[in-house]
Amino acid sequence: MNKIWPSGLPEPSVRTVADMENVFAVRPSNQNPETPLYYMYRDLYKTHGDHTWLERHHLRYDITRIPAGVINGEYTKTKGHYHPKNPAGISYPEVYEVLSGYAYYLLQKADRTDVIVVPAHAGDVVLIPSGYGHVTINPGREELVMANLVSTDFSSEYGEINEMHGAAYYYMKKGGWVPNPNYGEPIPIHTLLPSPIPELGLVAGRSLYEMVGTSDTLDVMNHPEKYQDAVSRFCAEKIGL
């Protein structure tokens, strides 16, 4: 982690087996409920000036670590959540960067008409568009470390994911993508490869943190209604899984 955040990370918030037991395909019964599953380091910055800029723009930079593992046949993952709508009536987006490891970002439309899987390697940047909930899965053999930039003007909504016992699909060691039966008829699932979105400042070779303090394009995090054309073109690239 020193290579990723040389100054050292603060104490993380931790998601344990007990926190996650309701969202796995099979409820964990043979694991210590206090076993950590992933670690969240929130509200990070490298300089006082960066902190001031982030606060002024109502943004937060976080890092999450998801160790490799399998729980009752299912790969480790985040709990998953949706974002509420902003004052313009469009839900807040979010953007992720894989710092090390490999990730599957599972995006599901709030109206349950679409599910997208975005496979991402180190250096890839992934937009979570308005209108989609999301879960991050570590399907690899090494720890997944990722960063995100998100608005500070809302709190994530976990209720529906909890009620449905997870996202619309589980990713299993045997069987791959398995539909969550609580959603009824399986929702169509597609894949979408990470791709640049120059209008939003998301371009190859540019890390998320490089945008802190320099980029007005992060305005999309609080005002996505201004950038719907760019986001729509991004989502149109999905293909059948």
Does residue 1 have a pLDDT over 70?
no
The tokens describing 125, both together, are 């940047």
Tell me the one-letter amino acid at 73. G
154-199 tens-digit pLDDT: 999 999 999 999 999 999 999 999 999 999 999 999 999 998 888 8
Looking at the chain, the whole-number percentage of residues with pLDDT higher than 90 is 81
Classified by CATH at the fold level, domain 13-240 comes out as: Jelly Rolls (2.60.120)
Does residue 215 have a pLDDT over 80?
no
pLDDT bracket for residue 124 (50, 70, 90): very high
125-142 tens-digit pLDDT: 999 999 999 999 999 999
d(CA 114, CA 189): 6
9-66 tens-digit pLDDT: 899 999 999 999 999 999 888 889 999 999 999 999 999 999 999 999 999 999 999 9
| pLDDT at residue number 231 | 80
Q: What is the mean pLDDT of the chain?
A: 93
Beta strands in the chain (DSSP E): 13-16, 36-41, 59-66, 70-71, 74-75, 94-100, 102-109, 115-121, 125-128, 132-137, 144-151, 169-172, 176-179, 189-191, 239-240
CB distance 117 to 104 below 8 Å: yes
| pLDDT at residue number 214 | 80
CB distance 194 to 97 below 8 Å: no
Beta bridge partners of 177: 171
| pLDDT at residue number 166 | 98
Number of residues that make up the chain: 241
83-110 tens-digit pLDDT: 999 999 999 999 999 999 999 999 999 9
